[in-house]
Chain A
Amino acid sequence: MTDATASLSEQPKKSKHAASLLVADARTKRRNAAERRFRMYGIAAIAVGLVFLVILLASIVRNGIPAFTQTYMTVSVELPADKLDKKGNRDLADLKKVSTFGYAPLIDKAIFAKVQVLGIETPFTKPKEMRALVSASAPAQLRDYVLNDPSVIGSTVEFKVLNSSRVDGYMKGRVTRDSVARDKNIDAEHFDIVDAMVKQGSVSRVFNWAFVTGADASESRPEQAGIGVSMIGSFFMMLVVLVLSLPLGVAASIYLEEFAAKNRFTDLIEVNISNLAAVPSIVFGILGLAVFIQFMHLPQSAPLVGGLVLTLMTLPTIIISTRASLKAVPPSIRDAALGVGASKMQSVFHHVLPLAAPGILTGTIIGLAQALGETAPLLLIGMVGYIASNYPDGIAAGFLSPNSSMPAQIYEWSKRADPAYYERAWGGIIILLLFLMTMNIIAIILRRRFERRW
């Protein structure tokens, strides 16, 4: 009874709320606004994430692209026989006695002569003052050229000289006349010469193959540094990772997915794998340092050690994806194989494994891509601080002699003082990302083409 009166007394209030279904009342409006706001938050969150991605990629491309061009200067270098080959017998052993110090003045003179021929106004009066224009590596290049072909001695050759990083930066807009005001290495007047030579055509920017294929250079020669040698280091590491982690990962997954009984031991393995997948990568570096270098005395900075550490790091990834693709093979395949008399082992190796192969390969490629970009564990086993200036000679040396890897090389460059190295670091990142992208695209194509849906 009381209930009825209560509801009756509320009646007039309720009617005030909903006069008509077609007209939204204040409360509905508020709820709808909240709904729209909530939706906007979601859109905003995704937009922010995508904006971050765009900013990241844009800054990589904007800062990295300049690394792929390099400024060169073409000059006619006189190679006087009385300086380079005092005995006149063109004997290689004698020619080698002339060090790069003997070649540097030749380049200076050649540039100075060019400046005068072109009639460029300059306050410089000595050839030696031209040295700021060219890379410190130019005399060595010239020397190598002469040693390669001693017959050019005595003649005048057109030689393409690598410009110094300041000139290169000026061409790319990184270095300005104001910014060199307090620079000891170069004066603004040098840039007048560069401007005139650009107009005349003897200074130009060309595609920088040396960056892609070349070796790292010392602190003071950023114009010469390349990522080629560390690329080879990365390649050998990836070979080790592939050769070890694929069979180990596949074998472990087959055992866990197809044979393992539900017991303590299996549980232990499962727990270990899922934990290892989440252990910070630097801890694997500590493991590598303690076990492979401290205990087993394997050489420091060797791609073999790096590969071993990265193998342990990528194993969980490969095991997890391999198990997923083994699980995706329907049990009817196994049953059919067992039904016609195959052993359990045969059913797995002859039927399940081939059917799961595309998935396994995809997982392996993604695991390799992850390993390729990993840096932290490599810092601890001595892949940094080492100047990767020599190509490994031979396959055994490729595994055992000290080398760097692409990400470690990028880190090394980012630590150097000269801002010209930052450009190299960004350029290195572009190459690294190109590799990762290629690997991921191959993985996606493999998945699209060969994955079977049962």
Chain B
Amino acid sequence: MPLYWLVLLILALGVVGFFAGRHRALASAGGNGRDLHSLPVFYGSNVMFSAIIPSLAFIVIVSIALPGFVSSRVSHMVPASEVQEGSSLNLVMAEVRRVSDGLENAVASGAISEEMARDPGADFDDMTARLKDSGQIMTAALTANVMQAAQEYRAMSHGGHRFIVIGALVLAIAGFAWAYLRTNKDFRARNFVERGVLGLLIFAASVAILTTVGIVLSLIFNTIEFFNLYKASDFFFGLTWSPSFSGRGGSSALGLIPLLWGTLFISFIALLVAVPIGLFAAIYLSEYASPKVRSIAKPALEVLAGIPTIVYGLFALLTIGPLLMSVFGRDGLGWMNGASSVMTAGLVMGIMLIPFVSSLSDDIINAVPQTMRDGSLGLGATQSETIRQVVMPAALPGIVGAIILAASRAIGETMIVVMGAGAAARLSLNPFEAMTTVTAKIVSQLTGDSDFASPEALVAFALGMSLFVITLCLNILALQIVRKYREQYE
């Protein structure tokens, strides 16, 4: 039974349960709703939730855990000899899964009978021939052992699927029956249902924790795997970045330093653009501008924040890059060799960050108490003197926090650098040269590659880990500063 039919069936059972529960409750009170402990709706909801929620949770949990479980069981069947030099168990398992899918399709199209697909002693050559005939893609890596593993994999997946269907139905019916039988006029349905709803609310709130845990686990496991293949010290302190895709590992130099340098250089230029413009814009908007100017200029600047990064990327690639090229390139000053450079990406990223800096600083400047300004103005200071000598020092911690947040944004920005900064990793001080960043390399190492076994692909997770740690530290630092600053004036 396909999963969505199962889900629909369970939902239908829930709807039936709602009316059944409601009816039974009313019947137990002799049709008089006033004799019930709770409103009739709660009795219905009780049966409905009891039928639906445990079984749906069961489906979700088992479906998530099943592939991993089956893979780990089947991977014991693959003998060590099957894992060739330069390959890995993961690759063999990917092959097993592919063959298993092939078997499934072949059975569906009738090229292979169900018994044959299940029979572990079936003739290997005959099976491959039939699979090929039915149009399944077979690779050279297919051996008799892999075929057996694939058969086992298929059988276990089927078993797992049956387990899901039966388990979910049993749970749904049991929940239905249990709640239905408990329904009578003295049953405290409302308290029970509300406790259940509260549980759901808590679960929803925990999704944020689960997401963080998921991010950390997925980064850590793959990073550890990477460090098993590649020395950690070489990664963190290596000065060259030149992955090779021909030979697995070995000749690749995967040093973090040049990427980090490119990232920081581009972010620095971006902040050089965004901080003065954003800060002065915020000062003008909060201290000088009339309400009318403010109501127009502020949303207009914030439009810049609502534009997707892909647009900025294209802007860098096709507008700013060629523009800089015509000024600093071969026809102009001769400093630039190609349209993509640190300057291109930095400038565009700076434009993107202007509203980010300006609206955060705006909030912070507005939070400085008016009495401080009044005191300064009363002593005869001009408005700009007040801002420079009173408002700014008071707002400084908050503004530093805002700039750190902007820096974290710049470091994690992907599309602009992928499209505007270039692909070569370099350690250079010239902002008109092409460099690359951590995020750009994560994208280039992981796109179009489904093999996660080589150090060249796994390095992306180590890069992601570094990126996550750096931005997390910056964010925590910034939030701490901003929070402390807010408390100071509350």
Question: Is the CB of A252 closer than 8 A to any CB of chain B?
Answer: yes
Question: Is the CB of A375 closer than 8 A to any CB of chain B?
Answer: yes
**CB <8 Å contact, B461 and A286:** yes
Min CB gap A295→B, angstroms: 6
Contact of A247 among B204, B284, B297, B476 (CB under 8 A): B204
Q: When A278-B471, A291-B214 are in contact, do A39 and B384 touch as well, CB less than 8 Å?
A: yes
Question: Is the CB of B443 closer than 8 A to any CB of chain A?
Answer: yes
**CB <8 Å contact, A345 and B211:** no
Question: Is the CB of A426 closer than 8 A to any CB of chain B?
Answer: yes
Contacts of B304 in A (CB 8 A): 49, 52-53, 56
Question: Is the CB of B206 closer than 8 A to any CB of chain A?
Answer: yes
Min CB gap B322→A, angstroms: 11
Stretch in contact with the other chain, from A161-169, A268-276, A357-365: A268-276
A-B contact pairs, 18 of them (CB 8 A): A35-B385, A49-B358, A50-B297, A56-B311, A56-B315, A247-B204, A255-B202, A259-B201, A268-B209, A279-B471, A280-B414, A282-B442, A293-B450, A375-B309, A385-B447, A396-B4, A433-B307, A436-B308
Contact of B281 among A46, A55, A276 (CB under 8 A): A46
- B interface list, Cβ under 8 A from A: 4, 63-64, 67-68, 97, 190, 194, 197-198, 200-209, 211-212, 214-215, 218-219, 221-222, 276-281, 283-285, 287-288, 297, 300-301, 303-304, 306-311, 313-315, 317-319, 351, 354-355, 358, 382-385, 387-388, 405, 408-409, 411-415, 418-419, 439, 442-443, 446-448, 450, 452, 460-461, 464, 467-468, 471-472, 475-476, 479
Min CB gap B294→A, angstroms: 10
Q: When A32-B382, A274-B479, A297-B97 are in contact, do A46 and B285 touch as well, CB less than 8 Å?
A: yes
Min CB gap B52→A, angstroms: 14
Contacts of B203 in A (CB 8 A): 251
**CB <8 Å contact, B301 and A375:** no
**CB <8 Å contact, A282 and B467:** yes
**CB <8 Å contact, B414 and A31:** no
Interface positions, chain A 338-397, Cβ under 8 Å from B, are 343-345, 369, 372-376, 379-380, 382, 384-385, 396
Question: Is the CB of A41 closer than 8 A to any CB of chain B?
Answer: yes
- When C-beta atoms are compared, the residue in chain B nearest to A290 turns out to be B218
**CB <8 Å contact, B384 and A35:** yes
- When C-beta atoms are compared, the residue in chain A nearest to B380 turns out to be A31
Q: How far is the CA of A291 from the CA of B220 in the complex (A)?
A: 12
Q: How far is the CA of A414 from the CA of B202 in the complex (A)?
A: 44
Min CB gap A388→B, angstroms: 15
Min CB gap B398→A, angstroms: 16
**CB <8 Å contact, B472 and A48:** no
- A interface list, Cβ under 8 A from B: 31-32, 34-35, 37-39, 41-46, 48-50, 52-53, 55-56, 59-60, 63, 247-249, 251-252, 254-256, 259-260, 268-269, 272-276, 278-284, 286-287, 289-291, 293-297, 300, 312, 315-316, 319, 343-345, 369, 372-376, 379-380, 382, 384-385, 396, 407, 410-411, 414, 422, 425-426, 429, 432-433, 436, 440
**CB <8 Å contact, A50 and B461:** no
Min CB gap A383→B, angstroms: 9
Min CB gap B45→A, angstroms: 11
**CB <8 Å contact, A375 and B310:** yes
Contacts of A273 in B (CB 8 A): 208
Min CB gap A300→B, angstroms: 7
**CB <8 Å contact, B439 and A254:** no
Min CB gap B102→A, angstroms: 15
Known: A39-B288, A48-B277, A280-B414. 12 other contacts (CB 8 A): A31-B385, A35-B383, A42-B284, A248-B207, A278-B409, A283-B464, A290-B218, A291-B218, A300-B450, A375-B313, A380-B447, A429-B311
Contacts of A63 in B (CB 8 A): 318-319
Q: How far is the CA of A372 from the CA of B472 in the complex (A)?
A: 25
Contact of A269 among B197, B208, B476 (CB under 8 A): B208
**CB <8 Å contact, B67 and A251:** no
**CB <8 Å contact, A50 and B447:** no
**CB <8 Å contact, B209 and A272:** yes
Contact of A31 among B382, B464, B476 (CB under 8 A): B382
**CB <8 Å contact, A287 and B218:** yes
Q: How far is the CA of A369 from the CA of B303 in the complex (A)?
A: 13
Q: When A39-B284, A251-B205 are in contact, do A410 and B412 touch as well, CB less than 8 Å?
A: no
**CB <8 Å contact, A414 and B318:** yes
**CB <8 Å contact, B383 and A50:** no
Q: How far is the CA of A422 from the CA of B278 in the complex (A)?
A: 31
**CB <8 Å contact, B467 and A280:** yes
**CB <8 Å contact, B198 and A382:** no
**CB <8 Å contact, B464 and A251:** no
Contacts of A276 in B (CB 8 A): 208, 211-212
**CB <8 Å contact, B442 and A380:** yes
Min CB gap B356→A, angstroms: 11
Q: When A46-B297, A53-B304, A343-B194 are in contact, do A379 and B443 touch as well, CB less than 8 Å?
A: yes
- When C-beta atoms are compared, the residue in chain B nearest to A444 turns out to be B299
**CB <8 Å contact, A281 and B204:** no
**Listed residue (B221, B222, B315, B471) with the most chain A CB atoms within 10 angstroms of its CB:** B315
**CB <8 Å contact, A280 and B205:** no
Min CB gap A376→B, angstroms: 4
Q: How far is the CA of A52 from the CA of B414 in the complex (A)?
A: 21
Contacts of B450 in A (CB 8 A): 293, 300, 382
Contacts of B317 in A (CB 8 A): 414
- When C-beta atoms are compared, the residue in chain B nearest to A41 turns out to be B280
**CB <8 Å contact, A297 and B194:** no
Name the 9 nearest CB pairs between A and B, nearest first.
Answer: A280-B412, A42-B284, A373-B308, A290-B218, A45-B280, A251-B204, A38-B384, A376-B414, A255-B201
- When C-beta atoms are compared, the residue in chain A nearest to B319 turns out to be A59
- When C-beta atoms are compared, the residue in chain A nearest to B199 turns out to be A255
Min CB gap A297→B, angstroms: 5
Contacts of A43 in B (CB 8 A): 284
Q: How far is the CA of A41 from the CA of B288 in the complex (A)?
A: 12
Min CB gap A424→B, angstroms: 11
Contacts of B388 in A (CB 8 A): 38
**CB <8 Å contact, B313 and A49:** no
**CB <8 Å contact, B204 and A46:** no
**CB <8 Å contact, A282 and B412:** yes
Min CB gap A259→B, angstroms: 6
- When C-beta atoms are compared, the residue in chain B nearest to A380 turns out to be B446
Min CB gap B464→A, angstroms: 5
Q: How far is the CA of A133 from the CA of B205 in the complex (A)?
A: 60
**CB <8 Å contact, B384 and A436:** no
